[in-house]
Amino acid sequence: MKTTVFTTLFTLLMVQFGIAQNIRAKIVDAATGDAIPYANIRINESDNLVSNGEGYFSLSENNSQDETVIVVSYLGFVSQQLVVSQLKSQDLIIKLLPAVYELQDVAVSNVKPNPYEIMANVKANLKQNYTTGEKASKEMFFYRTSSYFNPSIIDVEIDKSTGFNKQALSKINNDLQSFSTKLIKHPPVSFTDILCNYYSVKTKKAEKFVFTSKLDVLKATVLKNEGESTSLDDLEKKGRDLMLQHLDTTKFYRIKSGLIGSKDTISLRKDFNRKKKTGVNIEVNSQLTAAKSNLNSFMYQNNLLNNKRFDFIQKPELYDYTFEGTTYTNENEFAYVLTFKPRRSKAMYVGKLYISETDYAVLRTDYVLDEGEKVHNFNMKFLLGIKVSENVSKGTIIYKKRAEDDNYYMQYAATETGNYFYLNRPLKLIELTSGEKDVLALDFKIEANTRNKTEFLNMSRAATTVAAIDKIKEEDFKYLTIKAYDPKIWKDYNAIEPLQEMKQFKAGN
């Protein structure tokens, strides 16, 4: 097991937790009354919104005027255009009618389209449909992350510490027990929202393409209990603060767990985690740096060309496909609807694909791990006391054609990942010195599940220039910490309507 894993888990154990109005409306199926999640809402031909998993969406105060034009579209339904005054007269409910196919619009044949031929065309057109464009663009993103840590067992006891006398050692063990009990009774949850402008361009230099991006954060909030965190970076900081009580921050240490020893050096010195570049120390953990890194990583991971998770698109030979029929797209064209399930042992997912009839682009994918499948699994529970598995992986991703080059970009994504881990091991931090060593030794047992949800919405796209991007000066930002969700915070902006889970969450002290 890598040192970084033990360091993270050790840190985790050390943590102490501590007059105009927005309009909220719902989109439903006119035939059944069921909520329609992830419907596209176009506002005044400029901004895009999406209904949440419960079918709701909200308009900013600026877009809540009676004359505001809204166009709602969803695969398989007739698009509907209305103004806000009409929406109000309908009790803030939009009823979409299922699309009715006209015979003259559908090729009449007794032979169903072959799903494997469709998937062969999808694979053949992947690079053409999903290559990142070279033109400079300015986009507005809304990005929400929800993090959960659910421990079922946490048993921690420090056996030995040269930094503690017997009385102090007893106190820290009592503190750890209190921390463990609180953590199990009140599992930490956090919700983070970011609204930002994102500038990007791909330029060719020395026969190679160079991607440049800049981020301008307009508003950012975090909702969580005071002193509580589910971010590993935050946990590391809080754990380090706790360890200051019994480890010398001027010294360097190595980790040993059972027979496993680390060759990596760790330290609590403030300058140890700085990187040197051209003789200048640079802090690497600014909020802007982290947010930009997370956004770039999320977009890269959800490009159909990049992530092996999308093997049900990249490697159709691994799956069985069933043709379910055709449906209308948002542009009133036709799309094939295919369901898929594993054919071979390497395949892991089941789900549904919506595929353009004209260029074989995937317009939408819904996927989830098949029953009993795991993305990754490491099980040495009885030999090493370690078991780690990624047992949750699912999502809905919607792609839209770019106007400038007919390629596709990710317009919306709702993804969820989750991990189970179990550790039952001794752990030591041993000072690197030839003389008397400072030692911290503890036994710990922990069993927990973690989950991370992400929602991403590309709200608008506009062309810009390389010169304009060069002039953008990136500035760090601070999150506004809130104790309960308040729609007034977003009154000046459009945002994804939160689910009830987030709206009902209230942070304690």
Q: In this predicted structure, what is the pLDDT of residue 47? A: 87
Alpha carbons 376 and 159: distance in angstroms, whole number: 33
Q: Is the pLDDT of residue 168 over 80?
A: no
User: What are the pLDDT digits (tens) for 320-333?
Assistant: 999 999 988 877 68
Which residue has 């039952």 as its token pair? 424
Where along the chain do its domains lie?
Answer: 3-108+116-504
19 compared with 77, residue with greater pLDDT: 77
Q: Average pLDDT, whole number, for the chain?
A: 82
Q: Is the pLDDT of residue 19 over 60?
A: no
Q: In this predicted structure, what is the pLDDT of residue 171? A: 78
Alpha carbons 240 and 49: distance in angstroms, whole number: 41
Alpha carbons 330 and 253: distance in angstroms, whole number: 59
Q: Is the pLDDT of residue 114 over 70?
A: yes
Alpha carbons 349 and 255: distance in angstroms, whole number: 38
User: What are the pLDDT digits (tens) for 212-260?
Assistant: 899 999 999 999 876 555 544 444 444 445 555 556 667 776 766 655 5
Q: In this predicted structure, what is the pLDDT of residue 284? A: 41
CB 353 within 8 A of CB 362: yes
User: What are the pLDDT digits (tens) for 384-438?
Assistant: 778 889 999 999 999 999 887 888 999 999 999 999 988 887 777 777 776 666 6
User: In which band, very low, low, confident or very high, does the pLDDT at 17 lie, cut at 50, 70 and 90?
Assistant: very low
Q: In this predicted structure, what is the pLDDT of residue 274? A: 47
Q: In this predicted structure, what is the pLDDT of residue 306? A: 81
- Comparing CA positions, the residue from 85, 40, 129, 153 lying closest to residue 407 is 129
CB 339 within 8 A of CB 322: yes
Q: Is the pLDDT of residue 179 over 80?
A: no
User: What are the pLDDT digits (tens) for 25-45?
Assistant: 999 999 999 999 999 999 998
User: What are the pLDDT digits (tens) for 346-389?
Assistant: 999 999 999 999 999 999 999 999 999 999 888 877 777 788 89
Name the β-bridge partners of 41: 49, 72
Q: In this predicted structure, what is the pLDDT of residue 62? A: 87
Buried/exposed code over 325-354 (b: 16+ C-beta within 10 A; e: otherwise): ebbbbbeeebbbbbbbebeeeebbbbbebb
Alpha carbons 122 and 127: distance in angstroms, whole number: 10
Task: Please state which of the ranges 81-85, 166-170, 225-229 shows the lowest mean pLDDT.
Answer: 225-229
- Comparing CA positions, the residue from 507, 497, 508 lying closest to residue 92 is 497
